[in-house]
Amino acid sequence: MKKLFLLLLIIISAGQFAAAQQNPTMNIEGTASSIIGKLDKSIQLNEVQKPKLLTVVTNYLQQKSNLQSLQVTNEKAYKTKINSMQNGLHTRLKTILSDTQYASFLDLKPKAPDATNVLTQLYY
């Protein structure tokens, strides 16, 4: 009985470990703050824009995080939802940033997903 219990415990632990590896959690608030910091340096945000952008980016990252399991289970539905979310994000950004800032923001897009560039979270 003890061996069966131990075996069951090992199987459950291994499953949880594998799930954690497939869907790592993101520090949403920290990532959002890093994104705003990078944008501030690149496109010179004013004091009114910063909190508005922080809210928009935090909400976007939270929604994106909630979709991670869908990326594994239904890639087509994930892509549809993420495209819709990105369109909504850009619509909100256009209302906060000036035309010049928004054009500069678009120029900051990494050419491919890059784990060293925090802005990757907004584009990929």
* pLDDT score at 23: 39
For residue 66, give Cα distances in angstroms to 14, 72, 93. Answer: 23, 12, 21
Place of tokens 């909630």: 66
How many other C-beta atoms are found inside a 10 Å radius of the C-beta of residue 105? 19
Residue 122, pLDDT above cutoff 90 = yes
- The SS3 call for residue 24 is coil
Compute the mean pLDDT over every residue in the chain, rounded to the nearest whole number.
85
Confidence of residue 9 (pLDDT cuts 50, 70, 90): very low
Q: Tens digits of per-residue pLDDT, 78-87?
A: 999 999 999 9
* pLDDT score at 24: 52
Residue 31 belongs to what H/E stretch?
helix 28-43
Confidence of residue 97 (pLDDT cuts 50, 70, 90): very high
Q: Distance (Å, rounded) from C-alpha 103 to C-alpha 51?
A: 20
Composition of the chain by helix, strand, coil, percent to 5: 75, 0, 25
Instruction: Indicate the pTM of the whole model.
Output: 0.76
Q: Tens digits of per-residue pLDDT, 19-52?
A: 333 335 679 999 999 999 999 999 999 999 999 9
Q: Which of 61, 66, 52, 56 is nearest to 30 (CA)?
A: 61
Residue 5, pLDDT above cutoff 50 = no
